[in-house]
């Protein structure tokens, strides 16, 4: 909770548009933050966010809505927007079927879909997505275009990923970088 409070103080002091990936509940449903830190994210950090990108577990914890259907996800997004988030993206990568993200701008809903890339190299997908949104905002794109561009970037990072060590490897963050030649 103290770390969240410090981060919020800096965001307010700098006046920067903020993309919040809550990173509080893993894809397997395990809590990564203490209950007081979760409350601080909800009470302090979400109201400062331009974009918030929870997975389904995190959206449930932050909104109080158990997500079992598309209507539930919409209600969770509304509640997150009521907390102050200007744009809510409830990520759909952990749902069965196509990875469809629900996007809510406080007025209307949209969906961003992509093909599901069959790979075990999924470590860091949520962090990569939120960082790509922030990078696109920094490049001058609007929030909705930044979200759409980040979805495309992540899909290709998954498609071009490769195994590193054991377990779930990371996505390929450098898939857009051209090799500069031989290191001979």
- Catalytic entry in 18, 60, 91, 92: 91
- Catalytic entry in 8, 92, 126, 128: 126
Is 124 one of the catalytic residues?
yes
Q: Give the number of other Cβ atoms within 10 Å of residue 139's Cβ.
A: 10
Is 29 one of the catalytic residues?
no
- Catalytic entry in 18, 53, 122, 155: 122
- Catalytic entry in 18, 125, 128, 155: 125
Residue in 76, 87, 84, 183 with CA at minimum distance from that of residue 144: 87
User: CA 101, CA 34: separation in Å to the nearest integer?
Assistant: 27
Decide: 49 and 163 in contact? Cβ < 8 Å.
no
- Catalytic entry in 27, 84, 119, 127: 127
- Catalytic entry in 27, 84, 119, 124: 124
Residue in 58, 57, 41, 46 with CA at minimum distance from that of residue 19: 46
Is 8 one of the catalytic residues?
no
User: 144-175 in b/e burial notation, b at 16+ Cβ within 10 A?
Assistant: eebbbbbbebbbbbbbbbeeeeeebbbbbbee
- Which residues are identified as catalytic? 91, 122, 124-127
């Amino acid at each position: 909770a103290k770390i969240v409070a410090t981060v919020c103080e800096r965001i307010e002091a700098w006046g920067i548009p903020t993309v919040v990936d809550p990173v509080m509940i893993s894809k397997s449903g395990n809590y990564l933050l203490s209950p007081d830190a979760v409350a601080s994210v909800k009470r302090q950090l979400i109201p400062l966010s331009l974009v918030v990108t929870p997975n389904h577990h995190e959206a449930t914890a932050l909104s109080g809505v158990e997500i079992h259907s598309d209507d539930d996800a919409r209600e969770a997004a509304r509640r997150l927007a009521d907390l102050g988030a200007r744009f809510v993206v409830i990520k759909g990568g952990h749902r069965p079927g196509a990875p469809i993200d629900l996007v809510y701008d406080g007025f209307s809903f949209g969906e961003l879909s992509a093909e599901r890339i069959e790979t075990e190299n999924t470590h860091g997908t949520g962090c990569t997505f939120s960082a790509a949104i922030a990078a696109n905002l920094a490049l001058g794109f609007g929030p909705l275009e930044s979200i759409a561009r980040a979805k495309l970037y992540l899909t290709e990072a998954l498609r071009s990923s490769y195994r590193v060590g054991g377990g779930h490897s990371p996505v390929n963050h450098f898939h857009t970088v051209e090799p500069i030649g031989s290191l001979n």
